[in-house]
Amino acid sequence: MRSRYTAFALGLDDYLLSSWHSTTRPAELGDDDCHWRHLQILDHGLAEDGSGHVYFKAVFCEGRAGRMRWGMLEERSRFLREEGHWRYVDGQPQVSRLKPGRNDPCPCGSGRKLKQCCG
């Protein structure tokens, strides 16, 4: 999951598609205007059927300085082994909007105030 998050953050579409399970892989990825800022893995494990899961929260922002909108993607992702590698199959995403104030902690996880960090 961490490698897929990094690929999303860096815009590495080829890696994202290659790490997707062949049964659910899209033909191409759409344009993404998100800037991924922080990943937190909350849970992971294996099921009896051999599949794996990762439960995570990822913080992102959209837009430009002065008009940035913050959000959080929370998802329980499912993975299966294919050709000796774990591949993303599907997930149960929930997106919520974050509305931090200028003096609130930055959602990126730095611990600094928003106005002194990403704001």
- Among residues 57, 55, 32, the alpha carbon closest in space to that of 109 is found at 57
CA distance 77 to 60: 18
| Per-residue pLDDT tens listing for the chain (119 residues) | 789 999 988 989 999 999 999 999 999 887 777 889 999 999 999 988 889 999 999 999 887 766 778 999 999 999 999 999 999 999 999 999 998 888 888 888 888 888 888 77
Whole domain around residue 109: which residue ranges? 1-116
- Based on the structure, what is the number of domains in the chain? 1
The domain that holds 16 is classified in CATH as: 3.10.450.50
Predicted structure pTM score: 0.84
pLDDT at res. 4: 93
Q: Cα 79 from chain centroid?
A: 15
DSSP state of 102: T
